[in-house]
C-alpha cells in the first residue's frame, strides 16, 4: 500500500498540478458559512462553529480537515460579517486559508431574505514531502533528484455568494477561488533534474438548498442537497434530517458513488425566546461505497456550534427568528 500511495504522490512531478482544493463535509447543512459568504448574519446572532473531519481512517496519507467559522449580524446595516479559517491535509499536500466575510441583506415579502456576500483572504499551499513521513515508501526522499521539491506559497483568494431563505426554504449559490490564482515557485534544479512547479487553483462552485416539509409541535423533517464542482469533478450530496422537539436529531446523507453517511446530534438551548439558539453538537460517520471501501475504516466527522442571542450582547437587533 505504501508503494502505491508513493507512486500516486510522484505523479505530481508533472509540470502542472490540478486538484480540488476545498475539503468536503458531510454535515454541510450545519456550517453553511463555509460554503457561502452570503449566509453571514442570517441567523441574527453571534455564532461560532467548528467542524473536524478525519477521512478514510486506516488509509495512509488520508485527508484530515477542519474549519472554524464565526459570523455576526449587523442589524443597523442589514448585513453580517464573519470569517472562515480552514485547514486541510492530504498526503504531502497541506492547505491553510483565512477569509474575512461581508454580506448585505435585503428584506423581501413573506418573511423572506436575500443576501449577497463576498469573502477575501489568503490561501497558503505546501505541496511536497517534508521530514520523515512514514507513509512514503522511502525515508531518503531528500536525496532523490526525481522527487520534486516543495511548493510553498501564499496567494490572495476571493469568493462570492448569493443566499435566499424564508421560514420553510433556503437556497444558495456560491463560488470559491474566484480569481483562480497560479501558485508558481518557478524552476528549481535538484542534481540533474529540473522541476517547474506550478499549481493551478481551480474555481469551485456550490449549489445547495433545503426545506422544512413537516413541522408539528414535536417533529421536524428537513431534506437538503449540495452540489459541488470544479468544472471537472462533480459531487452530489442528498440528506434528510429529522429533529425531535428541537433538541435531538438524526438523519443520513448519500454522496453519489462515494458514501452513505448516518449522523446524529443534540442541542442545549441558550434562549427561551428562541429554542434554535444554543450549543449544538453533531456526529457523522461516512461508510465508503466506492472502490476505496476495502482500504479504509470509514470517516469520522464532529461538529460543534454555539449561537449567542443578540440581547445578551447589546439589547438591540432585528427580529431574532432563526430560519433554517
Q: Residues 105-129: what's their mean pLDDT?
A: 90
What is the DSSP code (8-state) at residue 202?
Answer: P
C-alpha cell at 273: 425566546
pLDDT at 92 over 90: no
pLDDT band at 9; cut points 50, 70, 90: very low
pLDDT at residue number 41: 93
Q: For residue 202, what are the contacts with CB-CB under 8 A and spacing of at least 6?
A: 18, 19, 20, 21, 177, 180, 230, 231, 232
- Supply the mean pLDDT for the chain: 82
pLDDT at residue number 50: 96
Rounded CA separation 281/268 (Å): 9
pLDDT at residue number 19: 44
Q: Answer with the residue of higher pLDDT: 11 or 209.
A: 209
Q: Residues 89-104: what's their mean pLDDT?
A: 92
pLDDT at residue number 12: 36
pLDDT at residue number 91: 80
Note the Cα 298 to chain centre separation in Å: 19
pLDDT band at 13; cut points 50, 70, 90: very low
Q: Residues 20-45: what's their mean pLDDT?
A: 90
- Three-class secondary structure of residue 182 per DSSP: strand
- Any bridge partners for residue 304, and if so which? 50, 281
Q: Answer with the residue of higher pLDDT: 81 or 294.
A: 81
- Considering only CA atoms, which of 251, 256, 260, 249 is closest in space to residue 298? 260
Rounded CA separation 26/37 (Å): 19
- Considering only CA atoms, which of 120, 184, 192 is closest in space to residue 156? 120
Rounded CA separation 321/50 (Å): 23
pLDDT band at 32; cut points 50, 70, 90: very high
Residue count (the chain): 324
pLDDT at residue number 308: 86
Rounded CA separation 309/320 (Å): 8
Rounded CA separation 36/24 (Å): 14
C-alpha cell at 279: 450549543
Q: Which of 89-98, 155-164, 199-208, 309-318 has the lowest mean pLDDT?
A: 309-318
Q: For residue 291, what are the contacts with CB-CB under 8 A and spacing of at least 6?
A: none
- Three-class secondary structure of residue 322 per DSSP: coil
- Any bridge partners for residue 221, and if so which? 214, 242
Percent of the chain scoring above 90 in pLDDT: 52
pLDDT at residue number 193: 63
pLDDT at 190 over 90: no
Q: Residues 206-223: what's their mean pLDDT?
A: 89
pLDDT at residue number 164: 97
Looking at 5-150, which runs of residues are DSSP E strands?
16-19, 45-54, 64-74, 79-90, 93-107, 113-127
Q: What domains sit in the chain, N to C, each tagged with a CATH number?
A: 2-313 (2.40.160.40)
Give the pairing of strands 219-229 and 204-211.
antiparallel
- Considering only CA atoms, which of 212, 214, 224, 208 is closest in space to residue 167? 212
What is the DSSP code (8-state) at residue 13?
Answer: G
CB 96 within 8 A of CB 143: no
Amino acid at each position: 500500500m505504501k508503494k502505491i500511495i508513493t507512486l500516486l504522490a510522484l505523479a505530481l512531478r508533472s509540470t502542472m498540478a490540478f486538484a480540488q482544493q476545498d475539503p468536503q463535509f458531510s454535515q454541510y447543512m450545519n456550517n453553511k458559512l463555509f460554503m457561502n459568504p452570503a449566509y453571514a448574519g442570517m441567523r441574527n446572532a453571534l455564532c461560532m462553529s467548528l467542524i473536524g473531519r478525519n477521512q478514510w481512517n486506516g488509509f495512509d496519507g488520508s485527508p484530515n480537515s477542519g474549519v472554524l467559522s464565526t459570523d455576526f449580524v449587523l442589524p443597523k446595516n442589514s448585513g453580517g460579517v464573519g470569517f472562515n479559517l480552514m485547514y486541510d491535509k492530504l498526503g504531502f499536500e497541506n492547505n491553510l486559508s483565512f477569509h474575512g466575510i461581508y454580506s448585505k441583506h435585503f428584506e423581501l415579502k413573506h418573511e423572506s431574505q436575500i443576501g449577497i456576500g463576498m469573502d477575501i483572504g489568503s490561501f497558503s499551499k505546501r505541496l511536497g514531502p517534508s521530514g520523515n513521513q512514514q507513509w512514503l515508501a522511502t525515508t531518503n526522499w531528500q536525496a532523490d533528484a526525481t522527487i520534486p521539491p516543495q511548493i510553498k506559497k501564499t496567494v490572495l483568494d476571493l469568493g462570492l455568494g448569493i443566499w435566499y431563505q424564508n421560514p420553510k426554504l433556503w437556497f444558495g449559490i456560491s463560488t470559491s477561488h474566484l480569481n483562480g490564482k497560479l501558485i508558481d515557485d518557478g524552476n528549481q534544479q535538484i542534481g540533474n533534474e529540473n522541476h517547474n512547479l506550478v499549481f493551478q487553483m481551480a474555481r469551485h462552485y456550490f449549489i445547495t438548498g433545503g426545506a422544512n416539509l413537516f413541522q408539528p409541535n414535536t417533529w421536524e423533517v428537513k431534506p437538503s442537497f449540495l452540489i459541488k464542482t470544479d468544472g471537472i469533478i462533480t459531487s452530489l450530496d442528498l440528506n434528510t434530517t429529522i429533529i425531535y422537539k428541537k433538541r435531538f436529531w438524526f438523519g443520513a446523507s448519500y454522496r453519489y458513488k462515494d458514501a452513505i453517511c448516518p449522523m446524529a446530534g443534540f442541542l442545549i438551548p441558550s434562549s427561551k425566546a428562541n429554542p434554535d439558539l444554543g450549543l449544538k453538537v453533531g456526529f457523522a460517520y461516512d461508510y465508503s461505497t466506492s472502490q476505496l471501501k476495502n482500504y479504509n475504516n470509514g470517516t469520522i466527522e464532529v461538529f460543534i456550534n454555539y449561537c449567542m442571542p443578540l440581547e445578551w450582547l447589546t439589547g438591540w437587533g432585528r427580529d431574532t427568528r432563526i430560519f433554517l
